[in-house]
Structure 1
Amino acid sequence: MTRRPRPRKERGRSRVGERFEAEVGPVAHGGHCIVRLPEPESRVVFTRHCLPGERVVVEITEGTDGDRFWRGDAVSVLEPSPDRVPAPCPVSGPGLCGGCDFQHVAVSAQRGLKAAVVAEQLRRLAGLDVDVTVEAVPGDVEGLHWRTRMQWAHTPDGRRGLRAHRSRRVVPVDDCLIAAPDAREPVTDVTVTEQVLDHSFTVSGDGFWQVHPGAATTLVSTVLDVLAPQPGEKVLDLYAGVGLFAAFLGDAVGDGTRVVAIEADRAASGHSKGNLAHHRGAVVECGPVEKVLASAYDEPFDLVVLDPPREGAKRAVVEQVVDRAPRAVAYVACDPAALARDVAIFAEHGYRLETLRAFDLFPMTHHVECVALLTRN
């Protein structure tokens, strides 16, 4: 018997294109602010290209009568914020390139918005009141010219460009202002060498590597600082990539001390073996972290580094980490909501958030990188 697909529930007439005058509320996670439309609409509109406290005209870009919330763009600013600046990029704005969220915001104020988002996520999801400061990182020029890798799209007539927000439509871009002068496109079947302090790392041309030139050094230095590794301590590096953190932690705990690096990506794991070959105690394991930990390395570790993808580590991995009873965990997070959720899970098992640092590794966008130190109560 063939099962028929369930018919999609009608949500009512589209409100796309309608405009409303409104006051902008607080910043929200995702590069937009919250606008609450009064009666009779009574909707929350997640609105881009605006700032808290401004009075704007919002044009609805997604939404129907039946939706709980709508999305929109501030197409006219009636009362601007003192933090508003002219966007340096000519293709930044409503309906244009979706690569940047905050080109209309002074760089220092961008960091304030990101700090507010991190603090709100920790308060809402982990029940913690944390003072957050987003720190500048060397390697950009007032938030521009930092992105060392660029993935371009192309228009039907072959022009180079980037996609509009939440769209497949390509906006032609002659000069992306956040791209570094020597930015390169990901290339398969080649390797590149990245230098961090006194270590060099082999990386696939299309593999993961931080795109801000100051990112790797900043994150390594911060992880070493918060963990304060001691000679002889055993290290577990999860979502280890090409072995960035494992290499430096291996130096700190001493040659021959056990350092286990687990990474699911086969190419990255292969490079990790070469990058960690100098350390006699290094073990590199290829496989999904939750599956590897469920069947191997069931032993005490003193230190753990977590550097998961955007969705975070999640409960299965967090509970396997605390089962190894580390004295300290350094959690490197690119998504504050996933971080806050996982911090709450750690708290269930007796680990508290002791230190949090946040870094502006993605200026002009809403993205922010955090390093959290979790220790046993």
Structure 2
Amino acid sequence: MSLDWTGRTLELTVGAVAHGGHCVARVDGRVVFVRHALPGERVLAEVTEDTGKSFCRADAVRVLTPSPDRVEPPCPVAGPGLCGGCDWQHATGRAQRELKARVVEEQLSRLAGLDLPVTVEELPGGLLRWRTRVRFVADAEGRAGLRAHRSHRVVPLADCPITVRGAVDAVLPERWPAGDEIEATEDADGEVHVRRLPGRGKRPERRRGGVAVQRAAGRDWRLAAHGFWQVHPEAADTFARVVGEWAQASPGARAWDLYAGVGLFAAVLAEQVGPSGRVLAVESGRRAVSDGKANLADLRQVSWRCGQVEHVLRDRRDSPEVVVLDPPRKGAGRQVVERIAAAGPERVVYVACDPAALARDVATFAGRGYRLARLRAFDAFPMTHHVECVALLERVGTGD
């Protein structure tokens, strides 16, 4: 007979952090994933979800023995049963970065067999008002908010302290049709762009703006306001700088930028290979490709292919010196990694927003003759469990 502890309150000691914004505890032989707690704390935890398997999920509803890293969350709805947008508001910034570092280390060890010390680096700007892109949702009364953790229930908001003020003020004071999602983006010029997503089968409705201006890698970018761009205002330029330092594409060389977006890293590679080189930018989003072509019109060495990366690479016969990839959260996957490795680049620079996906792909690269040479991790999403990593993989025999 399966167990169901849903609603049960457990007194427990919280153990190590786990991937996903929670810590691990054990009770009667079962794993309990506890949110709103920190390692070493003694808490009362209420079980919120239990499917009867070897684990259940719980929220720390009372802290009996607090960690020295615990602080009062700056947002009043960043607690048990409330908004699911943040995971670590109850921890100091230093503690948040240490927790994320442990997660990256654990994923690399468990999934790639690598034991590496990791430091998560802070980006300028602090813990609050960094989020320049957000998607709110309207509740049954038309109030905009965010969903509770692992739930469709909407928690209405008076403010969102991690989101830039312009995006908050453009959406939260208004009433919206129930169930609609509302996207708000503040660009580098401080202009706020808003569109309403009225539901499946209906066209988005632009409310403000539409074309955003961003700045990174020494260039101004004009792009669809709600298309892909880094959320943290310092992230794009930081990642472009690291990619450039590690790519080291030679003048006249060939390079690939996969999952290219509007071509941020393609621009960096193009400057390195020069007019006599070639950069292939691959992106599945038609609007992103259109924007990329317009933004990089002065770099004739960049050619674009619109399509799924795995499909485009299937037809490639060239051998790039360097490959840069920035895949979605699920990672590149075995098929793409194997096709990259088959092309034989000397170096691969991998930008990853999920450490588990990165670790799986690093393991696949290792099986195809590539070693993880360097890794940097950045706190591009303060207060949440998310962390951005940039990894350098070198073909065995070509590195230092």
Structure 2 length-normalised TM: 0.88
Counterpart in the other structure of 2:263: 243
Counterpart in the other structure of 1:62: 49
Aligned-pair identity (%): 55
Q: Does 1:93 align with 2:112?
A: no
Question: What CA distance in whole angstroms lies between the structure 2 residues aligned with 1:201 and 1:243?
Answer: 10
> Within 5 Å, which residues of 2 pair with 1:175-194?
175-183=159-167, 184-185=184-185, 187=195, 190-194=210-214
Which AA in structure 1 matches 2:253? E
Counterpart of 2:158 (choices 169, 174, 196) is: 174
Counterpart of 1:107 (choices 61, 83, 93) is: 93
Counterpart of 1:158 (choices 122, 142, 160) is: 142
Counterpart in the other structure of 1:6: none
- Whether the aligned pair in 2 keeps the contact of 1:247 and 1:275 (CA below 8 Å) is no
Question: What CA distance in whole angstroms lies between the structure 2 residues aligned with 1:12 and 1:158?
Answer: 40
Which AA in structure 2 matches 1:181? R
Question: What CA distance in whole angstroms lies between the structure 1 residues aligned with 2:122 and 2:328?
Answer: 22
Counterpart of 1:124 (choices 87, 110, 113) is: 110
Question: What CA distance in whole angstroms lies between the structure 2 residues aligned with 1:202 and 1:286?
Answer: 19
Q: Does 1:303 align with 2:322?
A: yes
- Whether the aligned pair in 2 keeps the contact of 1:336 and 1:370 (CA below 8 Å) is yes
| Cα-to-partner distance string for 1:272-304 (whole Å, 9 max, x where unaligned) | 111221111111000000011012x31110010
Counterpart in the other structure of 2:305: 285
Which AA in structure 1 matches 2:303? V
Gaps of 5+ in 2: 168-183, 186-193, 196-203
Which AA in structure 2 matches 1:352? R
Cα offset, 1:200, TM superposition: 1.6
Residue 360 of structure 2 aligns to a residue whose secondary structure is helix
Residue 25 of structure 1 aligns to a residue whose secondary structure is coil
> Within 5 Å, which residues of 2 pair with 1:1-377?
12=2, 14-38=4-28, 42-64=29-51, 66-138=52-124, 140-141=125-126, 143-183=127-167, 184-185=184-185, 187=195, 190-295=210-315, 297-377=316-396
Gaps of 5+ in 1: 1-10
Count of paired positions: 360
| Cα-to-partner distance string for 1:64-117 (whole Å, 9 max, x where unaligned) | 4x3221011001111111111111111110011100000000001000000000
Which AA in structure 1 matches 2:291? H
Question: What CA distance in whole angstroms lies between the structure 2 residues aligned with 1:182 and 1:370?
Answer: 28
Question: What CA distance in whole angstroms lies between the structure 1 residues aligned with 2:233 and 2:225?
Answer: 16
- Whether the aligned pair in 2 keeps the contact of 1:256 and 1:279 (CA below 8 Å) is no
Report the RMSD for the aligned CA atoms in angstroms. 1.3
Question: What CA distance in whole angstroms lies between the structure 2 residues aligned with 1:126 and 1:134?
Answer: 19
Structure 1 length-normalised TM: 0.93
- Whether the aligned pair in 1 keeps the contact of 2:217 and 2:264 (CA below 8 Å) is no
Cα offset, 1:182, TM superposition: 2.7
- Whether the aligned pair in 2 keeps the contact of 1:202 and 1:242 (CA below 8 Å) is no
Cα offset, 1:202, TM superposition: 2.3
Residue 365 of structure 1 aligns to a residue whose secondary structure is coil
- Whether the aligned pair in 2 keeps the contact of 1:27 and 1:33 (CA below 8 Å) is yes
Cα offset, 1:375, TM superposition: 0.2
Deviates more, 1:338-347 or 1:11-20: 11-20
